[in-house]
Amino acid sequence: MCVPGGFRNGTRRRGVTAVTVTASLVLLVGMASMTIDVGMMYRGRGEAQASSDAAAMAAAWQLMDQDRLRGSSYVDAVSNAARVTGDEFAGRNCIINEPPDLDLNVENHTGGDILFGRLDNPDDPHEAMTFADPSRFNAVRVFLHRDEERNGPLSLYFAGVFGDRFANVTASATAAFYDGVIGWRVTDESGNAGLLPFALRKTYWDQLLAGTYTTGDNYAYDSSTGAVSSGSDGILELNLYPGSGGGQLPPGNFGTVDIGSESNSSADIARQILYGVNAEDLAHFGGTLKLGEDGTLLLNGDTGLSAGFKDELAAIIGQPRAIPIFTNVEGPGNNAMFTVVGFVGIRICAVKLTGPMSGKKVIIQPAYLLDDAAIVGENTGQSDFIYRPVQLIR
């Protein structure tokens, strides 16, 4: 006797169940396979981001090499070394077990893997890089990609069943060091500010950078040892004492300013030379010493550089420091009032504060200073060579 619909002893029902189970298993295996591929793509993107972050940070740190102060040919050499460093650090961070490679982009094309430029306000995520002056570059963008163009796409394990055998992975990171320093704030995290209480007229600083007012290039800084010796390093110098040149300072004052109490003692100045300006010093300014909205800051003068500071100044030869620059000073001696318009990074190369006035000297040259205590603001162009440390910004 036939069973309508062909069901005999439940055979067809058992067949339907087997087909359903098989289809379910295929679906589950497919979903598991896709999960593996998706997980690998997420891993690849995360590793690509870590690699681009490391490359951007390393290249930006390398870009701060002091050799950039030695002229345009050295700027190019430092930039090229920074590109190589960025590529090296990218390769130390594998993407799915493969070290990535970056195109060095020596021509600095905007679409390249490693791009150098300038950001006046690194905190502004919408500001576009500018490229006019390589000596002022402060930002590095790294674009890392695993695709057909470079490094090859990721090979998928199971998605090929659906026609997708490969996946592209990209990541971008931008690192920058902050300039546009407008002042100083000391915290437990920052440590003391590397600011010396000796001011220089801005005119002389500008002329030093232009090469029109200088004592020459008689001292050489060795970045590998931090030592300064007689010789030439391509960075011009000037004499901070007495007052750099005729007409800079009023009678009875050689550029010393009070950073702290107006009754600062010689011991306070000696301490500031050796160890920097501390929070107690800045408490006399409400906790921060910075330019006002008009871009100026008034500092009271002190008696001047003294032979009593000779040993302290000699002890920091070769170390980067900052000094205020001013446009105007009124009044003599302790009554002098300096109109400060910015701060500049320098290093002391030689000190002689004994003997005849004509032989006294505190020779300085421009230098990069990295300082966590520096306050950055809108770039006014008054401060030079002082930076906050490199940070990832994008």
**Within a domain: residue 6?**
no
End of a domain among 151, 176, 201? Answer: 176
End of a domain among 116, 144, 176? Answer: 176
Output the CA torsion 69→72→74→80 (10° steps).
Answer: 120
Give me the numbers of helices (H) and strands (E) for the chain, helices first please: 6, 18
CA dist 249 and 255 (Å) reads: 7
**269-318 pLDDT tens trace:** 899 999 999 999 999 999 999 999 899 999 998 766 677 788 999 999 99
**Tokens representing residue 63 in the block:** 């870009």
Same domain, 290 and 372: yes
End of a domain among 141, 176, 211? Answer: 176
Q: Distance of CA 147 to CAs 48, 150, 169, 252, Å?
A: 12, 6, 7, 69
Same domain, 231 and 166: no
**16-73 pLDDT tens trace:** 455 554 545 444 455 555 666 676 677 878 888 999 999 999 999 999 888 899 888 8
**Within a domain: residue 204?**
yes
**Within a domain: residue 4?**
no
List 175's β-bridge partners, or say none.
140, 392
pLDDT of residue 10 exceeding 50: no
pLDDT of residue 228 exceeding 90: yes
| Domains of the chain: total | 2
C-alpha angle with apex 306: 304 to 312, nearest 5 degrees?
Answer: 115
Scan for tokens 């929070």, then name that residue: 279
Q: What is the pLDDT of residue 147?
A: 82
pLDDT of residue 152 exceeding 90: no
**235-262 pLDDT tens trace:** 999 998 765 555 566 656 667 889 988 7
Scan for tokens 């950055």, then name that residue: 376
Q: What is the pLDDT of residue 3?
A: 37
**70-124 pLDDT tens trace:** 888 899 999 999 999 999 999 998 888 889 999 999 999 999 999 999 998 888 8
CA dist 23 and 120 (Å) reads: 61
Give the domain range for residue 42: 11-176
Burial (CB < 10 A; 0-12, 13-18, 19+), residue 356, is exposed
CA dist 364 and 209 (Å) reads: 12
Please name which of 319, 290, 291, 261 lies closest in space to residue 66, comparing C-alpha atoms. 319
Look up residue 83 and give its amino acid.
Answer: R
**Tokens representing residue 191 in the block:** 């440590």
Please name which of 227, 226, 345, 248 lies closest in space to residue 305, comparing C-alpha atoms. 248
Same domain, 160 and 198: no
Question: Above pLDDT 90, what percent of the chain?
Answer: 54
CA dist 276 and 184 (Å) reads: 11
Question: Above pLDDT 70, what percent of the chain?
Answer: 82
Contact 168, 365 (CB under 8 A): no
Burial (CB < 10 A; 0-12, 13-18, 19+), residue 108, is middle
**301-315 pLDDT tens trace:** 876 667 778 899 999
**Tokens representing residue 98 in the block:** 């493969």
Same domain, 193 and 142: no
CA dist 136 and 118 (Å) reads: 7
What does pTM read for this prediction? Answer: 0.81
CB 288: neighbour CB atoms within 10 A?
Answer: 14
Q: What is the pLDDT of residue 30?
A: 52
